[in-house]
Amino acid sequence: MSGHLLGNRTPDFVWNIKYHAKYDHSREIVPGDLYPVIRRDPANPHELEAALMRWGLVPHWCTHPADIQKYGSKTHNARSETAHELPTFRDSFQRRRCLIQISGFYEWRKIEKFREKHQILSSTGGPLILAGLWDRAYIEDETLDSFTILTCPPNALMDEVHHRMPVILGQKAARDWMEGRGDPAELLRPCPSHWLDIQPAEE
């Protein structure tokens, strides 16, 4: 899937979660950028919060600045089918799940010899809620929180532009994901095609 997101166009989050820090929520987000992510508050696990994190998961065992590039440049996405097995994501899959609220994302569709940029938005005009994982590393005594977006095989619509897509959750599935309820294989499936709208985007 693409490494380009359209940031949440509104500062409002699902379930009235508050986020007070300033960030540019209207621009294109790429791996390495900071972006607000919904997670369980580490200090109060019964509450959800929106926290600013680096896109590209850096595992908790990392301690050196070079590890940020080593891992973070390769971990902006994680396959939902295997994340629970891989050392980089396994602990987060069990303990540190998150949601990423966006307005849309970008893919490049190949048309003959050219690649045309397309944006994928919600067909209702609302936000998209993506399933993710986060982790916390201490890099030379500095705390680094980072996240990855889980991906799945494409639905019929997305299959026209890419062989993977982000896991997009409805409200109930998002709650279940954060609460650890249900079978992950059932939750982390392609969303229905009618949830999405694909249109050409300006380069």
Over residues 137-179, the pLDDT tens digits come to 999 989 999 999 999 999 999 998 899 999 999 999 999 999 9
Query: 56: buried, middle or exposed (CB in 10 Å: 19+, 13-18, 0-12)?
Result: buried
Give the pair of three-digit tokens for residue 99. Answer: 């949601």
Distance (Å, rounded) from C-alpha 190 to C-alpha 186?
10
What are the residue ranges spanned by the domains of the chain?
5-200
Tell me the pLDDT band of 22, cut-offs 50, 70 and 90. Answer: low
Closest CA to 165 of 188, 142, 184, 185: 188
Work out the end-to-end distance of the chain between its first and last CA atoms, rounded to an integer number of angstroms: 18
Whether 124 contacts 196, CB under 8 Å: no
Evaluate whether 56 touches 32 at the Cβ level (below 8 Å). yes
Overall pTM surpassing 0.75 (yes/no): yes
Range 123-143 average pLDDT: 95
In this predicted model, what pLDDT tens digit does every residue of 101-114 receive, in sequence order? 999 999 988 777 77
**SS3 for 80-148, per residue?**
CCCCCCCHHHHHHHHHCEEEEEECEEEEEEEECCEEEEEEEEECCCCCEEEEEEEEEEEECCEEEEEEE
Instruction: Check: CB of residue 165 under 8 Å from CB of residue 190.
Output: yes
- Topology adopted by domain 5-200: hypothetical protein yedk fold (3.90.1680)
Share of the chain above pLDDT 90, in %: 69
- Of 103, 110, 97, 119, the closest CA to residue 173 belongs to 97
User: Residue 97: which of 71, 54, 134 has the closest Cα?
Assistant: 134
pLDDT of residue 21: 65
Residue 15 DSSP code: G
Q: Which segment, 41-45, 63-67, 145-149, is predicted with the most confidence on average?
A: 145-149
pLDDT for residue 7? 87
d(CA 179, CA 181): 5
More confident residue, 64 or 26: 64
